[in-house]
């Protein structure tokens, strides 16, 4: 791979994390499950990708998310949130708020629309990102930060590109059946080690991979036990309240499209300085590691824990139903310097060749309903 060289400080931090992971491997008889490796690479205190100090988002980071492209994204989401809050409570809760750009744009649009927001809570694991959020949201006194899930919640939960950053288990089909890929150390480098799949992995495979027996030997993919656990916890939180909904936006597929024979290497992907590649062992702590979301598994986990699936659609259908086209027309098309950047960003958000089809929106909740314009785009039957 030809990737940008890290600074000496960044390289030293990665080496420190590698030593920490290697020590964890040694403590566990020479191998740890891949989801444990991914957890340490992303979230190890002070050194993990999301818990360390490296810039992650924007032109100086590793990737760009939808809120960074245009304020129209947050403004459209604000109108959906307002419709749900009118049926529940004037509170929002965002997981993984990035630079704070989405929260800023949602709150700005709600204020413009005269919608009262009692509280906007953020659960953020990254100290570096929380510091950026505090600066970006200093003008909004209703913003507070939480260390984890509240016991109960009424209102709107937002999660933009949160599920894809949760650790996944890697599984592989062998002539003897399914195995789980662990991580070991060989000649000073991290390597994959096959281990017989345990009961938890086998149960997750059975739950997610509907046609597992038909897949070829050598097939590698991900199962999403951590994300399913997140959905169950989310359901308990909303279930302990009176009414509310969670809006989850991410890239992924329904289960019947996820585990296809031709997707034999899985969906695991890494992002480093706006370069995408598939080596999760490259510079741990300095790169993002993600997997596409199995939206069927997420919906079933929420439903089995007591929530309703209120809607599932591609990002283009969601944003158009939320009125993003009308929001664009607030800017005079004859004012090319102002209009064209927003129109170009909208093209990226909506185009099937860009983010419009790959990114999906899952809405789960209780005691509320989505606006009719969004229900027109609903594809829940495809889950």
Q: For position 63, what pLDDT does the model report?
A: 63
**DSSP-derived secondary structure letter, 115:** -
Q: For position 138, what pLDDT does the model report?
A: 97
Instruction: Describe the chain by its helix, strand, coil percentages, rounded to 5.
Output: 40, 25, 40
Q: For position 88, what pLDDT does the model report?
A: 98
Is-contact 195 272, C-beta < 8 A?
A: no
Sign of CA dihedral 123, 126, 127, 133: negative
Interhelix angle 336-350/71-85, nearest 10 degrees: 60
Report d(CA 291, CA 289) in Å as an integer.
7
Number of other CB atoms surrounding residue 217 within 10 Å: 10
Report d(CA 17, CA 23) in Å as an integer.
10
Name the fold adopted by 66-164+226-257+292-382. Answer: Rossmann fold (3.40.50)
Greatest distance between any 2 Cα atoms in the chain: 67
- E strands in 34-176: 91-95, 119-123, 143-146, 155-160, 169-174
Report the phi/psi class of residue 114: left, alpha or beta, with left for phi > 0 and alpha for psi in -120 to 50: left
Is-contact 64 58, C-beta < 8 A?
A: yes
Q: For position 17, what pLDDT does the model report?
A: 97
Residue of 214, 213, 212, 177 whose CA lies nearest to 194: 177
Report the SS3 class of residue 331.
coil
Sign of CA dihedral 349, 355, 357, 360: negative
- E strands in 69-219: 91-95, 119-123, 143-146, 155-160, 169-174, 177-186, 189-196
**DSSP-derived secondary structure letter, 5:** P
| Whole-structure pTM value | 0.95
CA distances for 124 relative to 93, 224, 337, angstroms: 11, 21, 35
Q: For position 371, what pLDDT does the model report?
A: 96
Residue of 375, 308, 368, 318 whose CA lies nearest to 154: 368
Report d(CA 274, CA 81) in Å as an integer.
31
Q: Which residue has the tokens 């062998």?
A: 174
Is-contact 383 364, C-beta < 8 A?
A: no
Q: Could you list the mean pLDDT of each consecutive 10-residue stretch along the chain, which spans 383 residues?
A: 82 96 97 97 93 59 82 98 98 95 98 98 89 95 96 98 96 95 97 93 92 92 97 98 98 96 94 90 94 98 98 98 97 96 97 96 98 96 95
Q: For position 60, what pLDDT does the model report?
A: 52
Report d(CA 249, CA 160) in Å as an integer.
5
Report the SS3 class of residue 138.
coil
């Amino acid at each position: 791979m030809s990737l940008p060289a890290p600074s000496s400080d960044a390289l030293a931090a990665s080496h420190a994390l590698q030593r920490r992971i290697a020590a964890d491997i040694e403590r566990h008889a020479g191998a740890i499950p891949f989801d444990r490796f991914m957890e340490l690479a992303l979230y190890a205190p002070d050194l993990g990708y999301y818990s360390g100090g490296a810039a992650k988002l924007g032109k100086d980071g590793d990737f760009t998310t939808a809120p960074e492209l245009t304020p129209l994204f947050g403004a459209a989401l604000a109108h959906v949130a307002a419709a749900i809050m009118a049926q529940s409570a004037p509170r929002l809760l965002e997981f993984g708020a990035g630079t704070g750009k989405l929260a800023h744009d949602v709150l700005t649009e709600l204020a413009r629309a005269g919608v009262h927001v009692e509280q906007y809570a953020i659960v953020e694991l990254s100290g570096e990102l929380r510091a950026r959020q505090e600066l970006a949201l200093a003008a909004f006194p209703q913003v507070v930060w939480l260390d984890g899930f509240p016991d109960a919640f009424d209102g709107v939960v937002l999660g933009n590109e949160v599920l894809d950053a949760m650790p996944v288990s890697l599984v592989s089909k062998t002539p003897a059946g399914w195995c789980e890929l662990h991580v070991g150390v060989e000649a000073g480098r991290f390597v994959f080690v096959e281990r017989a799949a345990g009961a938890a992995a086998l149960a997750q495979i059975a739950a997610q991979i509907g046609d597992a027996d038909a897949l070829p030997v050598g097939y590698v993919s991900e199962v999403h036990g951590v994300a399913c656990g997140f959905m169950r916890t989310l359901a308990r939180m909303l279930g302990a309240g009176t009414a509310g909904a969670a809006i989850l936006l991410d890239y992924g597929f329904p289960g019947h499209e996820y585990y296809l024979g031709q997707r034999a290497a899985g969906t695991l992907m890494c992002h480093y300085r706006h370069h995408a590649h598939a080596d999760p062992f490259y510079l741990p702590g300095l790169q993002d590691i993600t997997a596409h979301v199995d939206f069927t598994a997420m919906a079933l986990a929420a439903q089995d824990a007591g929530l309703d699936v209120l809607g599932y659609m591609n990002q283009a259908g969601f944003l158009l139903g939320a009125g993003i086209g009308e929001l664009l027309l607030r800017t005079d098309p004859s004012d090319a310097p102002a209009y064209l950047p927003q129109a170009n960003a909208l093209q990226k958000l909506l185009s099937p060749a860009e983010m419009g089809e790959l990114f999906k929106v899952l809405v789960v909740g209780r005691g509320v309903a989505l606006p009719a314009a969004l229900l027109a785009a609903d594809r829940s039957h495809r889950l």
